[in-house]
Structure 1
Amino acid sequence: MTDENRSTEESEVKQRKKRGFRMPDAYAILFFFLVLAAVATYIIPAGTFETEESSEGIDVIIPGTFSIIDSNPAGFLDVFGAIVEGLVSTSNLIFLVLIIGGAFAVIERTGAIDALVTKIIRITKNKEWLLIALVMIVFSIFGTLGIIVNAVIAFIPLGIILARSMKMDAIIGISIIYLGAYVGFGVAVLDPLTIGFAQQIAEIPLFSGARERVIMYVIALIATMAYVIWYANRIKKDPSRGILKENPFPKTPSEGQELGQQDMKLKHILVLLALAGGIGAYVTGVFVAEWSLGEMSAVFLIIMVAAAIIGRIHVNDMISTFIEGANTVLYGALIIGMARSIVVILEQGMVLDSVVNFMAIIMEPFSSTTGAIIMFLANGLFNLIVTSGSGQAAIVMPIMAPLADIMDFPRQVAVQAYTMGDGFTNIITPLSGVLMANLAIAGVPYTKWVKFALPLVLIWYVLGIIYLIVLVAINWGPV
Structure 2
Amino acid sequence: MPDTYVILFAVLLAAAIATYFVPAGTFERETVDGVERVVPGTFSGADGSPAGFMDIFMALQEGMIQSAGMIFLVLFAGGAFEVVERSGAVKGGILRAVHLTRGKEFWLIAVVSTLFAIGGAVGVIANAVIPFVAIGVIIARALKLDAIVAVSITFGATFAGFNVGFLNPYTVGIAQSIADIPLFSGMALRMTAFVVIVGVTIAYTWRYAKKLLQDPSKSLMGVLDEGEENGGLKAPFTTRHKWLLGFVGACLAFFIYATIQFSWTINHMSAFFIVIGLGAGIIAGMDYNKLALTFLDGCQKLVYGALIIGVARAVLIVMENAKILDTAVHALSVPLQELTPVTAALGMFAANGVLNFLVPSGSGQAMIAMPILSPLADMVGITRQVAVQAYQFGDGFTNSIFPTSGPLMASLAVAGVPWIKWAKWMLPLMLIWVVIAVVMLSIGVVINWGPV
The interval holding the TM-score normalised by the smaller chain is: over 0.9
Aligned equivalent of 2:38, options 61, 73, 78: 61
Task: Give 1:149's aligned residue.
Answer: 126
Whether the 8 Å CA contact 1:112–1:268 is kept in 2: the answer is yes
Q: SS state of the match for residue 317, structure 1?
A: helix
Deviation at 1:153, TM superposition (A): 0.5
1:118 aligns with 2:91: no
Task: Give 2:166's aligned residue.
Answer: 189
Deviation at 1:293, TM superposition (A): 2.0
1:108, 1:202 → 2: CA distance?
32
What do residues 117-141 of structure 1 show as CA deviations (whole Å, max 9, x unaligned)?
1210111011111111111111111
What do residues 404-454 of structure 1 show as CA deviations (whole Å, max 9, x unaligned)?
111111111111101100100111111111111111111111100000111
Aligned equivalent of 1:328, options 289, 301, 308: 301
Aligned equivalent of 2:157, options 180, 183, 188: 180
Q: Which letter maps to 2:11? A: F
Task: Give 2:192's aligned residue.
Answer: 215
Task: Give 1:79's aligned residue.
Answer: 56
Q: SS state of the match for residue 20, structure 2?
A: helix
Q: Which letter maps to 2:65? A: V
Deviation at 1:24, TM superposition (A): 0.6
Task: Give 2:431's aligned residue.
Answer: 458
- After superposition, where does 1:160-179 map in structure 2 within 5 Å? 160-179=137-156
Whether the 8 Å CA contact 1:339–1:390 is kept in 2: the answer is no
Task: Give 1:27's aligned residue.
Answer: 5
2:195, 2:405 → 1: CA distance?
25
Q: Which letter maps to 1:106? A: V
Q: SS state of the match for residue 337, structure 2?
A: coil
Deviation at 1:258, TM superposition (A): 6.9
1:421–1:317 distance in 2 versus 1, CA, 3 Å: same
1:151–1:258 distance in 2 versus 1, CA, 3 Å: farther
- After superposition, where does 1:231-250 map in structure 2 within 5 Å? 231-244=208-221, 247-249=222-224
1:310 aligns with 2:283: yes
- After superposition, where does 1:58-457 map in structure 2 within 5 Å? 58-244=35-221, 247-249=222-224, 260-457=233-430
Whether the 8 Å CA contact 1:50–1:62 is kept in 2: the answer is yes
Whether the 8 Å CA contact 2:182–2:259 is kept in 1: the answer is no
Task: Give 1:11's aligned residue.
Answer: none
Q: SS state of the match for residue 43, structure 1?
A: coil
Deviation at 1:259, TM superposition (A): 5.2
Q: SS state of the match for residue 358, structure 2?
A: coil
> Which one is further off, 412-421 or 200-209?
200-209
Q: SS state of the match for residue 37, structure 2?
A: strand
Whether the 8 Å CA contact 1:412–1:477 is kept in 2: the answer is yes
Q: SS state of the match for residue 59, structure 1?
A: strand
Unaligned runs of 5+ in 2: none
1:38 aligns with 2:16: yes
Whether the 8 Å CA contact 2:64–2:310 is kept in 1: the answer is yes
2:236, 2:370 → 1: CA distance?
45
For the aligned residue pairs, the C-alpha RMSD in angstroms reads 1.7
1:132, 1:271 → 2: CA distance?
24
Q: SS state of the match for residue 363, structure 1?
A: helix
1:63–1:163 distance in 2 versus 1, CA, 3 Å: same
Deviation at 1:304, TM superposition (A): 1.9
Task: Give 1:10's aligned residue.
Answer: none
1:119, 1:240 → 2: CA distance?
30
> Which one is further off, 377-386 or 26-35?
377-386
TM-score (ref. length: structure 1): 0.91
Deviation at 1:249, TM superposition (A): 4.3
1:310–1:391 distance in 2 versus 1, CA, 3 Å: closer
> Which one is further off, 296-305 or 346-355?
296-305
Residue correspondences, number: 451
1:474 aligns with 2:447: yes
Whether the 8 Å CA contact 1:282–1:295 is kept in 2: the answer is no
2:106, 2:302 → 1: CA distance?
32
2:395, 2:134 → 1: CA distance?
26
1:176, 1:394 → 2: CA distance?
30
1:383, 1:105 → 2: CA distance?
26
1:81–1:260 distance in 2 versus 1, CA, 3 Å: farther
2:407, 2:294 → 1: CA distance?
22
1:435, 1:323 → 2: CA distance?
25
Q: SS state of the match for residue 384, structure 1?
A: helix
Whether the 8 Å CA contact 2:144–2:223 is kept in 1: the answer is no
What do residues 374-412 of structure 1 show as CA deviations (whole Å, max 9, x unaligned)?
111121122122211122222222221111111111111
Deviation at 1:30, TM superposition (A): 0.6
TM-score (ref. length: structure 2): 0.97
Q: Percent identity?
A: 44
Q: Which letter maps to 1:262? A: A
Question: 4+ residue stretches of structure 1 with deviation over 3 A?
Answer: 247-250, 257-260
